[in-house]
A and B are shown apart, each in its own frame.
Chain A
């Protein structure tokens, strides 16, 4: 199955996050990285990342004419970092969240020189204002990242520089 440019970006983002689920040089060891299904969804876990897509918008300033024209899009991915430490853990929950936040940002921004290109698929990326998660018994933080990419106007599978 061919993957669209957008899906290739999602796959690369998920791959980078999963680096934290395996043994690595980072202090955070994720329990899992989940892209939720439609119905049978995840169960909350400690040090879990839920990766979803947010809003997408077309960016006319970064699109350009041609045959075919190149169209730029800005896609937001929500990186929801969940923490559920033991009730008997005396450590402040913010310490756990801050550690996880730092390691998630670090691993997403690796390799540092061209991290925003997501394996050559995108042209820019930046983290957006964070949102605190504290509801339904789950604590954590959402780290939205906006990724800008360009494709042929009529072919979302073809990346444009």
Chain B
């Protein structure tokens, strides 16, 4: 196993551990194909989206493994239609949220902003 493979495996098993702070979310690509993945979802406060202040939006940082099987790969991601389904508030029903930005990524993890 290469160092790259080890980093990916550890990112999935350790960082996104469901026994700790990880949770299962569903990734939908633009074409609607879905797969369940492990993620850490940071749920931020309501943000004002428009200069006029008349539009607010919920913002989420979703941390997943940078992998097309264990998470979402930075190669496949499309910020024009890809979505992730998770509860916007813990305990509530999951809803799909659009991926609007890649916050940062490296060989092991990718941090995505959903709204």
Point out residues on A near B: beta carbons under 8 Å.
36, 39-46, 50, 52-54, 78, 80, 84-89, 131, 133, 135-138, 142
Chain B residue numbers with a CB within 8 Å of A88 are 78, 80
Show 21 residue pairs from A and B whose CB-CB distance is below 8 angstroms, ordered by the A residue.
A36-B56, A40-B58, A41-B46, A41-B55, A43-B83, A43-B98, A43-B115, A44-B57, A44-B98, A46-B80, A52-B55, A78-B50, A78-B55, A80-B50, A80-B55, A86-B78, A88-B78, A89-B80, A131-B51, A133-B50, A136-B100
A91 to chain B, nearest CB (A): 11
B100 proximity list for chain A (CB < 8 A):
44, 84, 136-138
Pair A84/B79 contact, Cβ less than 8 Å:
yes
* Cα separation A133 to B57 with both chains bound (whole Å): 14
B115/A84 in contact, CB under 8 A: no
Secondary structure type dominating chain B contacts: loop
Q: Which residues of B contact A (CB under 8 A)?
A: 30, 46, 49-52, 54-59, 78-81, 83, 88, 95-98, 100-101, 113-115
In the complex, the answer to whether B46 meets A39 with C-beta atoms within 8 Å is yes
Please name 9 further chain A to chain B contacts, defined as beta carbons within 8 Å, in addition to the given A78-B54, A88-B78, A135-B49, sorted by A numbering: A39-B46, A42-B57, A43-B114, A46-B80, A80-B55, A84-B98, A85-B80, A136-B49, A137-B101
B88 pairs with A40, CB closer than 8 A: yes
Q: Is the CB of A86 within 8 A of B30?
A: yes
CA distance A46 to B79 in the complex (A): 11
Known contacts: A36-B55, A39-B46. The answer to whether A46 contacts B81 by CB under 8 A is: yes
Alpha-carbon distance A161/B30, docked complex (angstroms): 49
Q: For residue B115, which residues in chain A have a CB less than 8 angstroms away from its CB?
A: 43-44, 136-138
CB pair B57–A41 under 8 Å, yes or no, is yes
* A134 CB to nearest chain B CB (Å): 12
